[in-house]
Amino acid sequence: MSIDQLLGLITGILFGFFLQKGRVVRFDKQVGAMLLKDMTIVKFMLSAILVGMVGIQLLTGAGIISLNHKAMNLGGVLVGGVLFGCGWAVMGFCPGTSVGALGEGRWHAVFAIAGMVVGAAVYAELYPFFKSTILAWKDFGKIGLADVLGISPWLIILVFWVGIVWLFVWFERKGL
Amino acid sequence: MKWKTEDGGWSPYLAGALVGVLAIVSAYATTQWMGKTNYLGASTTFVRAAGMLERTVTPGHVAANEYFTKEKVRVDWQFMLVLGIFFGALIASTTDKSFKLESVPPTWQERFGPSTGKRAVGAFLGGIVAMMGARMADGCPSGHGLSGMMQLSVSSFIALAMFFGTGVIVARRLYKRRGS
């Protein structure tokens, strides 16, 4: 095993461990969030983002790591986002959690995983078509929010923290 | 606020924060050892898995495909990360006794009944649509939702809003019985 693969495996084991401990990999938690009844996965994701964004910004600012924004391709993000949302609601897993759900015994995740492999194969076949249609509408490139707004990323992080902590307090008050 | 849930799990705030720490350490570690900052993600791995499976039948077709060539069909860092998620969840669930064989989840059963076949078809078709969407958007709730948001990527804010907004609308129509 190469160093890349070993590093990926160790990171994945820890990722899967935390995902399972947070109880976010199972169908009922995912659909529960979409039905706005159980905010477990929202709390989990936003907590990860709050912590992660500070560290990523510190390391980027110090020149230790580099950012790798995903391209702001308007058609891709909008149409792809809607397609993902539709499939996600029916499947009740996302690509990462499907594998974790299988690990905790929810074996119907194998059908979701098989579907996603087929979906990836279909996408690969249709890629030239999408590239000349939906993905060709408008591509803003790899852009970050701080550059677009022309403000310090720390200001965005501060606003994000205040807003999310307020949201968490509200979740707890409502018992969500 | 409790740090443990009734079933022995961890508070989602705590588990989520630990994933935040993992994302930071992983960004640092991949930069040091792989020469390039890698961020947590999952959906590209499904493209590589599809490519590997297809290659056993029609190797020439995979080699000629533009998308497979772009994403490089190989067992890379992210592929092992996705495999690792399986083992991590297996270890966590068997050590705290939350491992449970489930063929039909409760919320699904309430609406569509106990048929494993129905659930299998739903999961399979949902998987096809979701993965096509994730590839079109160039990311899933890991790549966009966690990694992109942490980096303050414009595309990720919009992608996550679309994922969740559409999910809420579709789930409401799908799982809520009429009149309830």
pLDDT digits (tens, 9 = 90+) for B120-139: 999 999 999 999 999 999 99
Residues of chain A with pLDDT under 70: none
Rounded to two decimals, the ipTM of the complex is: 0.96
Long-range contacts of B164-168 (CB under 8 A, 24+ apart): B164/A34, B164/A85, B165/A85, B166/A81, B166/A82, B166/A84, B166/A85, B166/A86, B166/A88, B166/A89, B167/A33, B167/A34, B167/A85, B167/A88, B167/A89, B168/A34, B168/A35, B168/A36
User: What's the pLDDT band for B7 if we cut at 50, 70, 90?
Assistant: confident
How many angstroms separate the CA atoms of B45 and B146, rounded?
17
* Chain A residue at shortest CA distance from B25: A55
User: What's the pLDDT band for B176 if we cut at 50, 70, 90?
Assistant: confident
Averaged confidence pLDDT in chain B: 95
Give chain A's end-to-end CA distance (angstroms, integer): 44
Q: Show the tokens assigned to A175.
A: 């018992």
* Chain A residue at shortest CA distance from B47: A120
Q: Mark yes or no for CB contact B123/A144 under 8 Å.
A: no
User: What's the pLDDT band for B180 if we cut at 50, 70, 90?
Assistant: very low
How many angstroms separate the CA atoms of A83 and A86, rounded?
5
CB neighbour list of residue B33: distance below 8 Å, 6 or more residues apart: A3, A4, A7
Tens of pLDDT, residues B147-175: 999 999 999 999 999 999 999 999 999 99
What's the pLDDT at A84?
98
How many angstroms separate the CA atoms of A103 and A107, rounded?
8
Q: Which sign, positive or negative, has the C-alpha torsion B87, B88, B89, B92?
A: positive
Q: Report whether pLDDT(B179) > 50.
A: no
Q: Is some CB atom of chain B closer than 8 A to the CB atom of A23?
A: yes
What's the pLDDT at B85?
98
Q: Mark yes or no for CB contact B86/A124 under 8 Å.
A: no
Q: Report whether pLDDT(B24) > 80.
A: yes
What does A44-104 look like in DSSP terms, one character per residue? HHHHHHHHHHHHHHHHHHTTSS---PPP-BHHHHHHHHHHHHHHHHHH---HHHHHHHHHT
Q: Show the tokens assigned to B21.
A: 């720490």
How many angstroms separate the CA atoms of A133 and A130, rounded?
5
Q: Mark yes or no for CB contact A119/B67 under 8 Å.
A: no
Distances in whole angstroms, Cα of residue B146 to Cα of each of A34, B121, B126: 17, 29, 22
What does A151-174 look like in DSSP terms, one character per residue? S-HHHHHHHHHHHHHHHHHHHHHH
Could you tell me how far CA A175 lies from the centroid of its own chain? 24
* Chain A residue at shortest CA distance from B104: A108
Q: Is some CB atom of chain B closer than 8 A to the CB atom of A111?
A: yes
At residue B153, φ and ψ (nearest 5 deg) are -80, 135
How many angstroms separate the CA atoms of A116 and A100, rounded?
15
Q: Is some CB atom of chain B closer than 8 A to the CB atom of A174?
A: no
Q: Is B114 exposed, middle or buried (0-12, 13-18, 19+ CB in 10 A)?
A: exposed
* C-alpha distance from A162 to closest chain B C-alpha (Å): 15
What's the pLDDT at B127?
98
Q: How many CB pairs below 8 Å do chains A and B form together? A: 525
Tens of pLDDT, residues A29-49: 999 999 999 999 999 999 999
What's the pLDDT at B6?
78
User: What's the pLDDT band for B177 if we cut at 50, 70, 90?
Assistant: low
